[in-house]
């Protein structure tokens, strides 16, 4: 099983979207290790089937 790990995104959507594009179809899960601040970022990321550590 492949797991994608992402952190310290700080709501920068273009790099987040680039990372998620790599994970889609390759990772069974994505773990977000923190440092997002806007709820809209969580909504964008949650469009991909993944899990969050809301820290």
Instruction: Give ∠ CA 25-11-32 in degrees, rounded to 5.
Output: 45
Q: What is the torsion angle, in degrees rounded to the nearest 10, for the CA atoms of residue 20, residue 16, residue 51 and residue 25?
A: 0
C-alpha–C-alpha distance, residues 52 and 55, integer Å: 9
Domain hosting residue 31, numbered range? 3-52
Residue 27 token pair? 């990772």
Q: Which residues pair with 20 in a beta bridge?
A: none
pLDDT of residue 53: 46
Q: What is the pLDDT of residues 1-55, one digit of tens each?
A: 888 888 888 888 888 888 888 888 888 888 888 788 888 777 777 766 655 444 4
Give the global pTM.
Answer: 0.66
C-alpha–C-alpha distance, residues 37 and 3, integer Å: 23
Q: How many domains does the chain have?
A: 1
């Amino acid at each position: 099983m492949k797991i994608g790990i992402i952190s310290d995104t700080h709501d920068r959507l273009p790099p987040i979207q680039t990372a998620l594009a790599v994970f889609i179809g390759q990772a069974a899960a994505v773990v977000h290790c923190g440092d997002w601040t806007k709820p809209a970022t969580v909504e964008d990321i949650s469009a991909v089937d993944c899990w969050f550590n809301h820290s």
